[in-house]
Amino acid sequence: MIKLENLPYPVLILGHLILAILTVTIPFLGYVTLYGMLGYFLIRIISNQDRGNEALLAACYFASYEVLLRMTDVLYFYEMIKYLVLIFMFIGIIFKGFSIKSLPYVIYLLLMVPSIVVASQNIPLGESLRKAVAFNLTGPFTLGVVAIYCYQRRIMVSQLDAILKLSVGPIAMLTMHLFLVTPDIQDVLTGTGSNFATSGGYGPNQVSTALGIGMFLCFARFLRVRNFWYNCIDIVLLIGMTYRAWVTFSRGGVYTAAMMIGVTILVLALFNRSQFRWAFLPKIAVMVIGLALTWGFTSLVTEGLIDKRYANQDAAGRAKEDLSTGRGELATLEFQAFIENPIVGIGAGQSKYYRAQRTGSLAASHNETSRLLSEHGVIGILSILILVFTPLIYRLSHRRNIYFYAFLIFWFATINHSAMRIAAPSFFYGLALLNVVPDKKKVKRSLGKWAKYPRLLQIKRQQEQKALA
């Protein structure tokens, strides 16, 4: 069976762009693509018994694909991708098991139980307990299972790069889809608020988040891949995704991508001090110039509204009082619920009903941290501590994953501006827990340099064997 991740990068991207055009022209092909890819990945995972981390490949692909699938309304049910990620992870765990050291995440999953019990006693008459709990806990539960699968799981650098390379495809599809279906920007801009029309008719926050993932992936490839034509493709995609993210007028995904890019540059600078200036600075300069020109074009197209948006101003140029665009008020109410019910909280899925009683609005939470406090109480604080400190402690002895901080920042930033509406923050959190090891071929080449020095060769071999263990 053809391994899509091994296709030449131009072929992979071109194929996805053609698919985007075809699915806009013939919407039924969206269903064919979704279920065709699902069948393809399931066959690969089961036939190879996840020996090549195929479950991780499939989960990453669909987590990157989710926003476009929701936008085009081809999913069998709204939360389908989260359940698919769970299925892939469970199959992988069945075939390859999991590390006993992932116990903190087992505890994290068990900590959800009390909130379900409390919710069963507090659910308003006529409301569905199953729907209320599933909507709020599917994301956290997915995170726990992905973390158990990924914790200390060995993966070679080339395998991780292949997974991230393939995941650029569906976000390139999303970008092309937005260029094809959205109306003229100037025709739909009426202010500096998040814009559904420029986001393909779907939630600007989620679209911005997905495009932010693509921005980071293209940046990572642009910086590390040494191929002129591949670099050209990545910088064009990066500029296209950034432009589409800016014109959603939703800032969360853009800020998150900027933080991920910044911390990755810092990590590479620290780990490659002698080579950084010559290897990376010219590329960073090209990227900065390209994005500066793109900002100028975006400002021109939006008649300066994008400048006001990022300056936190309204269309008239007046400063907005609430930088969080209403999220602060939602979080404040959830902290109030925590103060009133500090031990076990008000129950899973009950925040929106609590909010309705206080304000008359059924708005869902945008902040996973404050939601954990309000619905889980002190147990929620313990859950947050597990999620934050477990990977940081793990990092002390596993330093080869250069994207560790980027993945962790994406999870934390996203859940605090967009909660866990999509599967991406749950999944990319898990990638921070992988035990990334050098490719075996590179290890052999590295050891070959020390062949003339038997003692040093023995020491080097012991070090590499320890790294691969």
**Domain layout of the chain by residue ranges:** 4-437, 442-469
CB atoms near residue 229 (< 10 Å): 10
The residue that leads in pLDDT, 26 or 356, is 26
CB atoms near residue 48 (< 10 Å): 14
Residue 236: pLDDT above 60?
Answer: yes
Mean pLDDT of 215-223: 95
Residue 14: pLDDT above 80?
Answer: yes
Report in angstroms the alpha-carbon separations of 159 from 43, 153, 442: 19, 12, 13
Q: Percentage of the chain surpassing pLDDT 70?
A: 88
What local confidence, expressed as pLDDT, does residue 443 receive? 46
CB-based contacts of 302, cutoff 8 Å, min separation 6: 185, 186, 189, 247
As a whole number of angstroms, the distance between CA 410 and CA 170 comes to 18
Detail the DSSP E strand segments found in 87-134. Answer: none
Mean pLDDT of 221-235: 93
Band of the pLDDT at 450, cuts 50, 70, 90? very low
What local confidence, expressed as pLDDT, does residue 445 receive? 52
